[in-house]
Structure 1
Amino acid sequence: MTQKSIIFFDIDGTLLNHDKKLPTSTKEAIFKLKESGHTVAIATGRAPFMFEDLREELGIHTYVSYNGQYVVLDGEVLDTNPLNIPALEKLTEVALQNNHPVVFMDHEDMKANVPEHSFIKESIDSLKISHFPAHDPHYYKGRDLYQSLLFCTEGEERQYEQVFNEFDIIRWHPVAVDILPKGGSKAKGIEKIVQKLGILEDNLYAFGDGLNDIEMLSTVKNSVAMGNAEEPVKAVAKYVTKSVEDDGIVDGLKLVGLL
């Protein structure tokens, strides 16, 4: 293949396995792509500070984080899409009444509006990251936020969806949902990078497994769903590879002809 491509990888369940470990085969494949002159990028729902170690380990400097709300190209911020703060403040007031904690997130840190709560611990611990939100109920004031976390059980988020049209609410854990700017997505973040680099659609690839990957995989021409992906995700992808636990990245790169 002479034409160089850009390949976007989701993190959890795609690059990292269910133990949040990077398979050796995946790491070797990433470096082979880079040696061939391709650009390797990340497209994740995580905050930038939640995957610094992974970026360093893989030498990746281009990424779409917060599901498209904070986009970085070659180490420089390319595009941001912050939350509507007045609407977030109102949502937080309702959440407090319902005993639903909220975590506020910018590009550097995250803070919780309550001192502690079992739902926060359970969901954040599942990410196996070193960061844990300290208590600062006013962290949303005077800064851009790109995502918030609302902690509630499945189905309870509907009351917020019905009232707060400024946001997209996406569940990522049995007791936690993402609060994102309406219409923001990994696909739109990727589009910003592709336009800046002038990449042709034939040379654009994306790998993912989660519900927040559906728009990305249905938009990118060469899309690959992991074998461990949920069925709605597999349904929109052009290819389905093996599970992340079964060298799925290597298999998927072979499927699309990059390895």
Structure 2
Amino acid sequence: MKNIKKADIKKIKMIVCDLDGTLFNHQKNITKNTIDYLVNLQQNGYILVLATGRFYYELEPFIQKLQMKKFNGYIVCCNGLTVYELASNKIHKFDYLEREDINELIKIAYSFKLNIRTNYNNSYQNIVTRCLYYISPIITKVLAKRYPNLLFYRYNDAIDWQQVGKLCFIARPGKLNKFVKHLSLQYSQRYQIYYTSPFCVEIVRQNVNKAYAINYICQKLSLSFDNVLAFGDGGNDELLLSKAKIGITMKNALPKTLNKAKYISNKTNNQDGVLDCLKELFDTNLKV
């Protein structure tokens, strides 16, 4: 992480962290050393924001460990769909995918033979090809601890998804790239499309983005992106990383995201890469 100016570091008031591939290690945990450091940063007056594609109910253990309610932190869920102000328990929502959007996107996905996933009523639900459907009992058993309410449907089963935050589409990169190209040509003004891995893209409404959610929080606090330090690793982080005064892309990020990086961490998420960066930036300024 070269060439970060001391003057820019002094402007930072808010620290925004993505979770999967960033703050989380491969075991989907935050190490104790990282937790302790983030608590110390909050004690020193920095605002902590977790900005993730996940949903609030999945984050409650980490909110507690990081003492975010005590320090009036913020949670951005589902790629920017919802903003939770922990001090007041207020929630701000951007636009959901409605039934018309859902049915249209599913129909297109069928034509590309993609698998589809969403979170509906706090349950991860999947529409899958015939082969995957036949082994779905095994998948359910293997993932039971992480996804206790996992559900599977076949193509053309009756699905009653009235409103969802995002749809995930999963396939081999070749199929997925063709699907994304098709959507980008016809629906770029309606949806945002993010790669979260070479095998998965997430689709949300056009006004749903982590950067828009952070801008909303900044306006509430009379701050700007000049006061933001952000960490991320995927397509759903790219706009935020570009707008933040200090936007740090994780060393383990997707190649497309790394190509757009302003700064790159020295270590991966599984090596406490966020903690390493924070120490480099703030160690001389923190009160213990």
TM-score, length basis structure 2: 0.74
Q: Conserved in 2, the CA contact under 8 Å of 1:152 and 1:177?
A: no
Equivalent residue, structure 2, for 1:153: 172
Equivalent residue, structure 2, for 1:162: 182
Q: How big is the shift at 1:132?
A: 4.3
Equivalent residue, structure 2, for 1:242: 266
Q: Conserved in 2, the CA contact under 8 Å of 1:169 and 1:179?
A: yes
Q: Is the partner of 1:13 in helix, strand or coil? A: helix
Q: Conserved in 2, the CA contact under 8 Å of 1:119 and 1:176?
A: no
For residues 195 and 217 of structure 1, what CA distance do their matches in structure 2 show?
18
Structure 1 pair 233–95 and aligned structure 2 pair: CA distance change class (3 A): closer
Amino acid at match of 1:201: F
For residues 122 and 265 of structure 2, what CA distance do their matches in structure 1 show?
34
Alignment of 1:1-259 (within 5 A): 5-60=13-68, 61-74=73-86, 75-96=89-110, 98-106=112-120, 108-113=122-127, 117=133, 129-135=146-152, 137-141=158-162, 144-157=163-176, 158-159=178-179, 161-163=181-183, 165=187, 166-182=190-206, 184-243=208-267, 244-257=269-282, 259=286
Q: How big is the shift at 1:201?
A: 3.3
For residues 75 and 224 of structure 2, what CA distance do their matches in structure 1 show?
18
TM-score, length basis structure 1: 0.82
Q: Conserved in 1, the CA contact under 8 Å of 2:94 and 2:208?
A: no
Structure whose residues are more often helix by fraction: 2
- After superposition, the C-alpha distances for 1:119-177 in whole angstroms (9 at most, x for unaligned) are 9987xx78x73344324743312xx3110122322122323641451333333245432
Structure 1: state its 5+ residue gaps.
none
For residues 160 and 146 of structure 1, what CA distance do their matches in structure 2 show?
19
Q: Conserved in 2, the CA contact under 8 Å of 1:16 and 1:22?
A: yes
Q: How big is the shift at 1:235?
A: 4.7
Q: Conserved in 2, the CA contact under 8 Å of 1:240 and 1:252?
A: no
Aligned Cα root-mean-square deviation (Å): 3.3
